[in-house]
């Protein structure tokens, strides 16, 4: 199975973590029928300095002709905000990547790294946020004046239907018992439409329970009883906020993974963290967010939950032997980015060989 994977290393720690993601892909190609061809698609701040654009036409062409995109992180502290980062929006909008999938799973071995007390963690945290990624406020329709400014929060029926359908199908695939919808239907018209469509569509999934929670209440439930959530579906801005809140529950920003997905089309997989200028170049960034993004790539773009599971188990086993500094443990060896990647790659190798 030949697949072309576009690679955007990006800025700061981006190239360091992407190397470890590629390492995992190479192990998979060595021990399975997959055959990967990697094609560089440079984007971000360094690229902007060189070419005056954060996403050269050639890079975007490469991405469009690939099966998937593995993306590091972009942004440089000496550039104004957005100059590098807007490349991400161009890719999301340009490829119509309407699903932002963000798992927040706390490995048992990292329970002590979770900022919540054990009684709040309860039976454990394993939530997947399904965020609408193309509509709502972030479409950036509006105006900015001297004395007033406005942004239009705009949702369409088609836009709501496709993301809610994705969420239910995802829950079904994962055997989740409940799908939670987060909105603000007591105030916003867009949420009223969203909620109506959510209930219409839930009729097609009679084995899955549903619940609606207002965004403000949800932010407290997420730290009060995170164990009760499985699939959580929501709009663009609410999803941005709650998925970041969720990200910190799993021990470190460096653990967070994501997919920007259009099912059946070129999709983009990236760790949730940024270019981390404070640690870039030191070889200490946690590569697990990137490695788990590769896991999502297998599940969502290559339809291979088996390999996804093997990557997940390899990460979990590796965490019992060594850690990068952000999740370090007194009793375990502290590893560099590359060593952490090697450890996970070796675990994966022995699983795929077996
Ligand atoms: P950041 O995520 O880069 O860093 C926040 C904190 O988390 C820092 O202390 C950093 O050292 C730590 N951290 C991040 N990734 C880590 C990893 N893999 N292992 C261990 N620790 C890690 O967020 P910040 O500092 O707000 O942004 C830096 C730049 O990245 C900015 O230019 C920002 O716009 C950009 N950014 C880019 C994103 C992307 O490419 N998708 C996402 C978020 C921010
Ligand atoms: Mg965000």
- Residue-wise pLDDT for 241-286, tens only, equals 998 899 889 999 999 999 999 999 999 999 999 999 999 999 999 9
Burial degree of 36 (CB within 10 A; 0-12, 13-18, 19+): middle
Ligand nearest to the CA of 279: 1
For residue 293, the model assigns a pLDDT of 98
Span(s) in the chain for CATH 3.40.718.10: 1-99+258-354, 115-250
Q: Is the pTM of this model over 0.85?
A: yes
Q: Which two tokens stand for residue 351?
A: 């699983």
Question: Are the C-beta atoms of residues 284 and 336 closer than 8 Å to each other?
Answer: yes
Which SS3 state, helix, strand or coil, does residue 275 take?
coil
Nearest CA to ligand 1 atom 26: 274
Res 140 pLDDT > 80: no
Task: Identify the DSSP state of 75.
Answer: -
Distances (CA, A) of 10 to 71, 92, 336, 348: 7, 16, 20, 26
Helix axes 157-173, 189-202, angle to 10 degrees: 40
pLDDT range class, residue 309, cuts 50, 70, 90: very high
pLDDT range class, residue 3, cuts 50, 70, 90: very high
For residue 117, the model assigns a pLDDT of 94
Beta strands at 99-105 and 257-261: parallel, antiparallel or unpaired = antiparallel
pLDDT range class, residue 141, cuts 50, 70, 90: confident
Comparing CA positions, the residue from 44, 40, 38 lying closest to residue 58 is 40
Q: Is 70 in the pocket of ligand 1 (CB under 6 A)?
A: no
For residue 139, the model assigns a pLDDT of 82
Measured in degrees and rounded to the nearest 5, phi and psi for residue 256 equal -80, 135
Q: What is the mean pLDDT of residues 340-354?
A: 96
Rounded distance, CA 96 to CA 88, Å? 12
Res 100 pLDDT > 90: yes
* N-to-C CA span, the chain: 20
For residue 302, the model assigns a pLDDT of 98
Nearest CA to ligand 1 atom 16: 254
Alpha carbon 53 to its chain centroid, in Å, reads: 25
Measured CA angle at 236 (ends 41, 114), to 5 deg: 85
For residue 208, the model assigns a pLDDT of 98
Q: How many A from CA of 228 to the centre of ligand 2?
A: 23
Residues 6+ apart with CB under 8 A from 264: none
Comparing CA positions, the residue from 282, 291, 295, 290 lying closest to residue 325 is 282
Residue with tokens 């399904």: 130
| Fold topology of 115-250 | Isopropylmalate Dehydrogenase (3.40.718)
- Residue-wise pLDDT for 166-186, tens only, equals 999 999 999 999 999 999 999
pLDDT range class, residue 138, cuts 50, 70, 90: confident
Question: Are the C-beta atoms of residues 324 and 333 closer than 8 Å to each other?
Answer: no
Q: What is the mean pLDDT of residues 189-199?
A: 98
For residue 263, the model assigns a pLDDT of 97
Rounded distance, CA 64 to CA 212, Å? 37
- Say yes or no: domain 1-99+258-354 is CATH 3.40.718.10: yes
Q: Which two tokens stand for residue 244?
A: 């970041």
Alpha-carbon Rg for the chain in angstroms: 20
| Mutation choice for ligand 1 from 54, 274, 323, CB with most ligand atoms inside 8 A | 274
For residue 347, the model assigns a pLDDT of 98
Known catalytic residue: 184?
Answer: yes
For residue 247, the model assigns a pLDDT of 86
Average pLDDT, the chain: 97
Known catalytic residue: 216?
Answer: yes
Residue spans of alpha helices (H) in the chain: 14-31, 45-51, 57-64, 86-94, 118-121, 157-173, 189-202, 215-224, 236-247, 288-300, 305-318, 337-353
Render 13-43 in DSSP notation, one character per residue: THHHHHHHHHHHHHHHHHHSS-EEEEEE---
Known catalytic residue: 11?
Answer: no
**Torsion angle of C-alpha atoms 296, 298, 304, 309, degrees rounded to 10:** -50
Q: Is 275 in the pocket of ligand 1 (CB under 6 A)?
A: yes
Distances (CA, A) of 40 to 60, 272, 326: 10, 20, 29
Measured in degrees and rounded to the nearest 5, phi and psi for residue 122 equal 60, -130
Helix axes 305-318, 337-353, angle to 10 degrees: 130
Q: What proportion of the chain, given as a percentage, has pLDDT over 70?
A: 100
For residue 244, the model assigns a pLDDT of 87
Maximum C-alpha span of the chain = 66
């Amino acid at each position: 199975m030949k697949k072309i994977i576009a690679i955007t290393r990006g800025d700061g720690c981006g190239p360091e973590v992407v190397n470890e993601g590629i390492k995992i892909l190479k192990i998979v190609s060595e021990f399975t029928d997959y055959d990967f061809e990697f094609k560089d698609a440079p984007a971000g701040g360094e690229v902007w300095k060189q070419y005056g654009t954060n996403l050269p036409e050639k890079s975007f062409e490469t991405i469009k002709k690939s099966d998937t995109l593995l993306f590091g992180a972009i942004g440089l502290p000496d550039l104004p905000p957005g100059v590098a980062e807007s490349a991400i929006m161009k890719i999301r909008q340009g490829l119509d990547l309407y699903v932002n999938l963000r798992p927040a799973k706390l490995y048992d071995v990292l329970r002590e790294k979770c900022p919540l007390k054990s009684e709040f963690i309860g039976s454990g945290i394993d939530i997947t946020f399904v965020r609408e990624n193309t509509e709502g406020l972030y479409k950036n329709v509006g105006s900015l004046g001297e004395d007033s400014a406005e942004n239009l929060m705009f949702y369409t029926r088609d836009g709501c239907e496709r993301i809610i359908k994705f969420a239910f199908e995802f829950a079904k695939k994962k055997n989740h018992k409940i799908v939670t919808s987060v909105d603000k239907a007591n105030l916003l018209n867009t949420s009223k439409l969203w909620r109506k469509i959510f209930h219409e569509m839930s009729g097609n999934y009679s084995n899955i329970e549903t619940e609606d929670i207002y965004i403000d209440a949800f932010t407290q439930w997420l730290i009060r009883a995170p164990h009760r959530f499985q699939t959580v579906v929501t709009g663009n801005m609410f999803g941005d906020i709650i998925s970041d809140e969720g990200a910190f529950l799993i021990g470190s920003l460096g653990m967070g993974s994501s997919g920007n997905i259009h099912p059946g089309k070129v999709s983009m997989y990236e760790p949730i963290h940024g270019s981390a200028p404070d640690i870039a170049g030191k070889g200490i960034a946690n590569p697990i967010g990137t490695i788990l993004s590769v896991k999502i790539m297998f599940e969502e773009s290559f339809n291979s939950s088996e390999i996804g599971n093997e990557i997940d188990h390899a990460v979990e086993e590796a965490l019992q032997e060594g850690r990068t500094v952000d999740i370090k443990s007194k009793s375990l060896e502290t590893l560099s980015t590359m060593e952490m990647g090697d450890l996970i790659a070796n675990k994966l190798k022995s699983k795929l060989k077996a």
